Chains A and B, each alone.
Chain A
Amino acid sequence: MSTRWPNTVFTVNGESRTVNVPPMKRLLDVLRDDLKLTGTKEGCGEGECGSCSIRMNGELVNSCLVPILQADGAEIQTVEGLEANGELHPLQKAFLACGGAQCGICTPGMLMAAVQLLAVNPHPSLAQIREGLAGNLCRCTGFIRIFESVVAAAAHEKSPPPLQALDAR
């Protein structure tokens, strides 16, 4: 293999990975092209749509804006890392039950944003959910059922309370 570039070593979904690619290559492309983790999607390539959202060292980042050199030593979680022991993550279950995914292209990024939100704030208000997901665009759902999915996952139940009950806007 080529050693033209420094190795970049990082952890993806708990597994140590080493790549030898140009240091300015986008983390998104490394995940998709080099590691074949195609669950992370590209929507705009400029950090607007959030489809490429992943968690890096406990922060939500747009992987299209991260050069791989910044990921050296990082701990990364992608959508492929949500399922545990063949069991869907509570957010995945909630998205399925509540209709939080339609075409599915924003879904991996949306899930990662929701995971991040609940990691920081396990019982967010509707306003906090809106804010937490504001960097992730969905063109299909109008977001309403995504909010309900997050509420349901936070409550660990399939039937969410009506949104009106949370905090009227």
Chain B
Amino acid sequence: MSTNDTNRIVGAPVPRKEGVNKLLGRAKYVDDMELPNMWHGATVRSSIPRGIIRSITFEPHIDWDDFTVVTAADIPGKNQIQLIVADQPCLADGRVNHNDEAVLLLAHPDKYILREAVNAVHIEYEQLPPVFTIEESERQETIVGGAENIFKSFLLEKGDVDSQWASAAHIVGGEYRTGAQEHLYIENNGVIAEWSAETGVTIWGSLQCPFYVHRSLLLVFNLPEEKVRVIQTETGGAFGGKEDYPSLLAAHAALLARKSGHPIKIVYDRMEDLAATTKRHPSRILHRTAVDKNGKLLAMDIDIATDGGAYSTLSSTVLSRATLHSPGPYVCPNVRVRSHAWATNNVPYGAFRGFGAPQAIFAVERHMDEIATAIGLDPIELRRRNFLHDGDTTATEQVMREPVILDHLLDRALSESDYYARCARFADENIGSAIKRGIGVAAFYHGSGFTGSGERYLNSLAGLDVTPDGKVRVLVSSTEFGQGTNTILTQIAAEAIGIPYDDVIMAPPDTGIVPNSGPTVASRTAMVIGRLIERAGLQLVTMLRDHAGLGELFTPRDFFVACERLRNADGKVESRCRYEPPPNIFWDDQTYRGEAYPAFAWSVHVAQVAVDTVTYSAEVEEFWTVQEVGRVLNPVLAGGQIEGGVAQGIGYALYEKVLLQNGHMANNQMTNYIMPTAEDVPQIHVSFEEIPFSYGGYGAKGIGELPHDGPAPAILNAIRNATGIGFHSIPLLPEDLFAKLASRRTVAEVAAV
């Protein structure tokens, strides 16, 4: 070990690695970059949801010779964006399947002239009948995508659900719906592309997954791997919204660069970003639950339907995660989950923090409160009687081998929120008051990392090297977009080697430099990539001891001297590690049985709300969140992740409504797509319990998505507690509250007066 091993870096609130550059305004986002002779690119989009393109005309008042125009005919390789299923064209060719679909690209040196030109291109269509809702798609009368409108289905079965209905003391059903949600990263999607015959395509962009973009471009341009290079620029928020979409955008910019001979910048404005890019999948989830007389769950029958939009994008994996999170953190001997992702002619839905889990957890955690009411049991007690514990099995028969401390998390959340005292106080104060206060709970897990065999397929490679000027560099394609990748990975490397935090830097997120450590998604970075960096650090020290005379105890100076000895001998100082799954992990993709996730993060949320029965607004007044996410690598960053996720979850529940008209987002402006502001976010109390996970980076599990899962059900449960009315859909806006509360109020309030 090093001589400074008492000076722990992991677990310390070290400042954000790239923080100073961000605070000085020096961090370079893609729109802050310019290349010599760069032109700007723009996209001409469809204005109908489904149809055949009959003609494209260009208004004669513009001199089109000054522009580069790209259509599907200019694509040298395949007109496909490769993700899971290659059903999405890079540019519409002959037909469009959703509004705001990219049909034609323009480039010009002047971005202001370009904007006018976009409006001077006219597309004539022969319209085909569109499908906009899950219900229309389910009828399978008009087939618009997938296999008979189905992108993906799952059937998860444990025990025999149908054997339970006859004998159950109670059967409780419910239907729950969630709306689309926009990521609303403050930096819109944007890329710069450069083309040369010798080097191929180079992309700089605001993106999460450099190798996803890399793989897509290989196909579109029919190029060998070394002729495509993707570099992530500083990224101003992503939340899943820059997981899949940048592949499409990068292809567009690169096509224009190839044809025009100029580097091309495409940066969307807010209206285009909101209208054309992915959002969270809307869902409809049905629960039917059999419960015995003591409140024990006997059978859960769950049916999930999501709207996938016009192309499959990530709908299958989002549906998988929704399926696996739908039974909640409970033991139930008989579970059946049927799930379908449906094709419509809406703009394709994609990845968004939580990735299907927020939808599923909204349904099951709202449903638990409905069950409690139906059988006359305290919703806290109902949860407690059914929580998973060590040794129990989930719906996929995964045995809980790591400690599960849900009871403790719940106790702590109740005690910190003074739950029962508040319940009693509000019950008193609400009588005769126009403001009705209530308090609600949600308990849940979030599976860390890719589902099932996913991490094995990814087979991530990550490492460290040492620069000649004496810095250890972290070599990963894992990207920073606010969540803290740079900081935690350099902390882990510094800790593993035993050198100061400042002696470790990140290698540029450039596919020409770093190995493929997989996508930066699925709450996998701290756990999976963190572990690889921890191993790479320990391996580097061992290499230096074995081959470069590094002593048992060493100073940072000793370490770097030994690195130079190794460099002189071997020509390089590098340590790489590949993913190794934890032992005894089995997963069957066909039957959906086995270890769905290598680890679970656990959380209990408590929300206090005030419902104004005059204005019909609901406000979250205070929020408590207790979670177990394995080891907390950096308490400031971890707290920030939780608070930010809760705020986004509050928006999901009460503010954020994507209004579709003819499959086009009608409120595609920040003026009328409303997210929580500094005045809307309540006081948020965050507490961690730490149980280090043996196979995560210094014990870390996933954290990023977890906090988005719980606010919506906790808030709507609190509204039920406040008003006595169970609301089953989000977003829950004042008009929705009005619709149910107004009629009842006239009776109840008059009686009270």
| Residues of A near any B CB (own CB < 8 A) | 32, 37-46, 48-49, 51, 78-80, 82-83, 88, 92, 95-99, 101-108, 111, 129-131, 133-134, 136-147, 163-164, 168-169
Give the docked Cα–Cα distance between A79 and B639 (Å).
Answer: 26
In the complex, are the beta carbons of B235 and A130 less than 8 A apart?
Answer: no
Which of A78, A82, A104, A129 is most buried by chain B, counting CB atoms within 10 A of its CB? A104
In the complex, are the beta carbons of A51 and B16 less than 8 A apart?
Answer: no
> In the complex, what residues of A have CB within 8 A of residue B234's CB?
104
Given A101-B22, A134-B679, A136-B678, A141 and B236 touching (CB < 8 A)?
no
> In the complex, what residues of B have CB within 8 A of residue A107's CB?
22-23, 25
Q: Would you call the interface of chain A mostly helix, strand, loop, or mixed?
A: loop
- Tell me if B575 counts as interface (CB < 8 A to partner A): no
The total number of A-B Cβ pairs within 8 Å is: 177
> In the complex, what residues of B have CB within 8 A of residue A38's CB?
25, 28-29, 31-32
Q: Within the complex, which residue of A51, A99, A104, A134 is in contact with B640, where a contact is CB–CB below 8 Å?
A: A99
Q: Name 13 interchain pairs, CB-CB below 8 A, sorted by A.
A: A41-B187, A43-B186, A46-B671, A88-B23, A95-B23, A102-B640, A104-B234, A107-B22, A139-B648, A139-B675, A143-B643, A143-B681, A144-B683
Give the docked Cα–Cα distance between A51 and B186 (Å).
Answer: 8
- Tell me if B407 counts as interface (CB < 8 A to partner A): no
In the complex, are the beta carbons of A43 and B19 less than 8 A apart?
Answer: no
In the complex, are the beta carbons of A48 and B671 less than 8 A apart?
Answer: yes
In the complex, are the beta carbons of B644 and A140 less than 8 A apart?
Answer: yes
Q: Count chain B residues whose beta carbon lies closer than 8 angstroms to a beta carbon of A.
A: 59
Which of B648, B671, B678 is most buried by chain A, counting CB atoms within 10 A of its CB? B678
Give the docked Cα–Cα distance between A82 and B26 (Å).
Answer: 12
> In the complex, what residues of B have CB within 8 A of residue A163's CB?
683
In the complex, are the beta carbons of A111 and B644 less than 8 A apart?
Answer: no
- Tell me if B682 counts as interface (CB < 8 A to partner A): yes
Q: Within the complex, which residue of B26, B637, B669 is in contact with A99, where a contact is CB–CB below 8 Å?
A: B637
Shortest distance in angstroms between A1's beta carbon and chain B's nearest beta carbon?
17
> In the complex, what residues of B have CB within 8 A of residue A40's CB?
25
Give the docked Cα–Cα distance between A140 and B484 (Å).
Answer: 11
In the complex, are the beta carbons of A49 and B637 less than 8 A apart?
Answer: no
Shortest distance in angstroms between B10's beta carbon and chain A's nearest beta carbon?
17
Other A-B pairs beyond A39-B24, A105-B237, A142-B648, 8, CB < 8 Å: A38-B29, A99-B636, A105-B236, A134-B679, A141-B644, A142-B644, A145-B640, A164-B683
Given A96-B20, A104-B236, A169 and B15 touching (CB < 8 A)?
no
Q: Within the complex, which residue of A108, A140, A145, A169 is in contact with B622, where a contact is CB–CB below 8 Å?
A: A169
Give the docked Cα–Cα distance between A136 and B639 (Å).
Answer: 21
- Tell me if B292 counts as interface (CB < 8 A to partner A): no
Query: Taking CB as reference atom, which chain B residue is nearest A89?
Result: B23
In the complex, are the beta carbons of A46 and B640 less than 8 A apart?
Answer: no
- Tell me if B670 counts as interface (CB < 8 A to partner A): yes
In the complex, are the beta carbons of A48 and B187 less than 8 A apart?
Answer: no
In the complex, are the beta carbons of B647 and A99 less than 8 A apart?
Answer: no
Given A134-B679, A146-B678, A141 and B187 touching (CB < 8 A)?
no
Query: Taking CB as reference atom, which chain B residue is nearest A111?
Result: B23
In the complex, are the beta carbons of B24 and A83 less than 8 A apart?
Answer: yes
- Tell me if B157 counts as interface (CB < 8 A to partner A): no
- Tell me if B646 counts as interface (CB < 8 A to partner A): yes
Q: Within the complex, which residue of B19, B236, B484, B678 is in contact with A130, where a contact is CB–CB below 8 Å?
A: B678
> In the complex, what residues of B have CB within 8 A of residue A78's CB?
25
Shortest distance in angstroms between A37's beta carbon and chain B's nearest beta carbon?
8
- Tell me if B269 counts as interface (CB < 8 A to partner A): yes
In the complex, are the beta carbons of A140 and B640 less than 8 A apart?
Answer: yes
Which of B22, B235, B622, B683 is most buried by chain A, counting CB atoms within 10 A of its CB? B22
> In the complex, what residues of B have CB within 8 A of residue A102's CB?
16, 237, 482-484, 640, 644
